[in-house]
Chain A
């Protein structure tokens, strides 16, 4: 068995160097915190990563704001919507589904598990309530995140994940639209994932959440 062979070679190497138990795991430095400025730091980093954002008072306002955003971009009201957002008061014209996103998917509307002020990242927790394909396949990604779900740092998100009792199959930290610098180191947005990411910052938890 290769597993045994590899582990055996590792054990032999460790014992030859006599290092087992000689090094302790270090104390990690404290992660950055922002106190009252947490949400401002988050939105500042969103912009730094080429996201756009707007604040809304409650999730009920989401459909109206999403429609206005789509209209400003000249996009048709067809979209993949995260299951928890399907029952919001969407206008009748909206064609929406909550299955996995397909190859022609133009727009997805998601609900983030949390946000990270340190880096302006959105944390997406995969599962039946949050299809992972919605994060990558569409050209335009609109993401709602509750202000109270924004942590100072990544460690805050790990804590929230541990509190759910299980690691999701996929946890995606997203900082802005997809980009590449592979042609002459010129940064170009929209490499393979979304070309634009628009964040809707929800000030208060609403009853539909």
Chain B
């Protein structure tokens, strides 16, 4: 998809002033965090699984070419086709060609972040195909003509009333449904015929198994499974980093994925697909294609951000991020929101164009502490800031401020004098209450909260008074 207009700042301001979004975010946040915590607590050895998963990913990435070749050879031995795409345009072309050859009319889609990344829907719709998102969340945002705001729950920003409005507009002849059960049932009826009409079914691939030439999807709705089972042609879209060696490695990741993503011990459906329909099979697709998308990943593999390729797209980082919790996914401007997006989006779409993203982070580290594959997200965000500075992207005002601070910090006497003076002035301004309701130059901070004033002597003064050495 194309990046949304504006900057993180401007989009966040819109998000903070949107009462429906704020209501939706308020509901979502505690739920995901609590469910994950209890699912993790119920499984002994979760930490060891995280270590193992990270180590499997690092080992595979260090010989990614070999694993991909093994995987591709196995898929081809089963009668499947494997396509490699260097970039988004090439991936789109490969899929358009598959749809043309299949003489397709209806294309059903399971949830696939890679297909969002490569902007697939737009080109297929322009070609005249009926493209139907079948994950309920994706279906809702397709009707709303909006991008996903969460990688697991794409319509998390929509309230029940907004979904009811959308369905009422798009399902003529049906009475308006108001309840969750009624809305889910309405979507079931609307999509059922589509599944059975589908010529090409496009799904993601959570994991690709080299041992067996298998693509794996996990869903709760069964939509991806119906999509790939009922379509004449099944197309799997996946990043090149998704390959793992064996079925036993898959078990390590499956134990982590559902718990981290939705706080379940397992998703409802885990479907392993290996090639097209075989002789005697009563059902299944006649053709099976896998499109492996590079789109900047091999470049990532070479650089300082290679650990980002461990990501299994569970969404735990954004579920635990206070910034995401305040502004939602659209503020991040592209397919991948939250902490993972703050790293991926600048890497995919440019450091300069996405200057705000790694800087819209408090470095509190919650994301890193819950990442199932132990991606050092805050370290990478810091590294990203470093790259931006090296590339001369820091705005001049910030650069001047940092230089001034840097100079003062190198003159200990002067630094301490400023520190004492600042501390005293803040205490004076606060008065007896101990907190400051408004402060010139820090209006953005004090508009929504009070600034606590320093409570007493500076750290250095305390250090000295306790006999510390300076």
Contacts and interface: CB of A to CB of B under 8 A. Distances in A.
A176 to B, nearest CB: 6
A101 B185 CA distance: 20
A194 B156 CA distance: 24
Contacts of B28: 185
A121 B254 CA distance: 13
Contacts of B98: none
Contact of A169 (B181, B221, B276): B276
A101 to B, nearest CB: 8
Interface string A15-47: 011011111111111011000000000000100
Interface string A146-182: 0000000111001001000001111111111111111
Contact of B248 (A1, A5, A102, A155): A155
A184 B282 CA distance: 38
A10 B240 contact: yes
A16 to B, nearest CB: 5
Contact of B269 (A153, A183, A193): A193
A28 B249 contact: yes
Contacts of A185: 27-28, 31-32, 153, 156
Interface string B178-204: 001101110110011101100000000
B17 interface: no
Contacts of B248: 28, 155, 158
A194 B223 CA distance: 11
B83 A192 contact: no
Interface string A175-204: 111111111111010111110000000000
A14 B301 contact: yes
Contacts of A175: 266-270
Interface residues of A, number: 78
B193 A169 contact: no
A76 interface: no
A20 B183 CA distance: 52
Interface stretch (B7-15, B51-59, B350-358, B399-407): B51-59
B302 A133 contact: no
A21 B268 contact: no
Interface stretch (B60-68, B375-383, B436-444, B457-465): B60-68
Contacts of A24: 59
A78 interface: no
B3 interface: no
B262 A193 contact: no
A6 interface: yes
A191 B27 contact: no
B155 interface: yes
B188 A190 contact: yes
A191 B52 contact: no
Contacts of A26: 51-52, 55-56, 59
B188 A2 contact: no
Contact of A127 (B90, B267, B272, B278): B278
B106 interface: no
Interface string B240-280: 10000101111110100000001001111111111111101
A7 interface: yes
B180 A25 contact: no
A31 B252 CA distance: 9
Given A179-B220, A186-B180, A9 B84 contact: no
A100 to B, nearest CB: 4
Nearest to B163: A183
A29 B50 CA distance: 11
A194 B221 CA distance: 9
A115 interface: no
State the majority secondary structure of interface residues on A.
loop
A102 B250 CA distance: 32
Interface stretch (B121-129, B132-140, B410-418): B132-140
A180 B221 contact: yes
B221 A193 contact: yes
A183 B86 contact: no
Contact of B68 (A1, A10, A29, A135): A10
A178 B221 contact: yes
Contact of B251 (A27, A31, A182): A31
A193 B49 contact: no
A126 interface: yes
B298 A10 contact: yes
Given A103-B193, A133-B229, A192 B163 contact: no
A25 B59 CA distance: 6
Given A182-B153, A192-B191, A192-B222, A131 B282 contact: yes
A168 B283 CA distance: 13
A2 B84 contact: yes
B299 interface: yes
Contacts of B90: 2
Nearest to A184: B160
B168 interface: no
B230 interface: yes
Given A6-B292, A19-B62, A25-B245, A168 B274 contact: yes
Given A6-B84, A188-B181, A192-B191, A13 B299 contact: yes
Interface string A131-153: 11101110000000000000001
Interface centre among B136, B140, B283 (most CB of A within 10 A): B283
Given A7-B69, A17-B301, A20-B63, A170 B27 contact: no
15 contacts: A3-B72, A5-B86, A17-B306, A20-B63, A23-B61, A23-B62, A28-B52, A175-B267, A179-B268, A181-B262, A182-B140, A183-B180, A184-B24, A188-B181, A192-B191
Given A3-B83, A136-B222, 14 more contacts: A1-B84, A6-B85, A17-B306, A29-B48, A29-B49, A127-B278, A131-B283, A169-B276, A171-B214, A172-B272, A175-B268, A180-B220, A182-B140, A193-B222
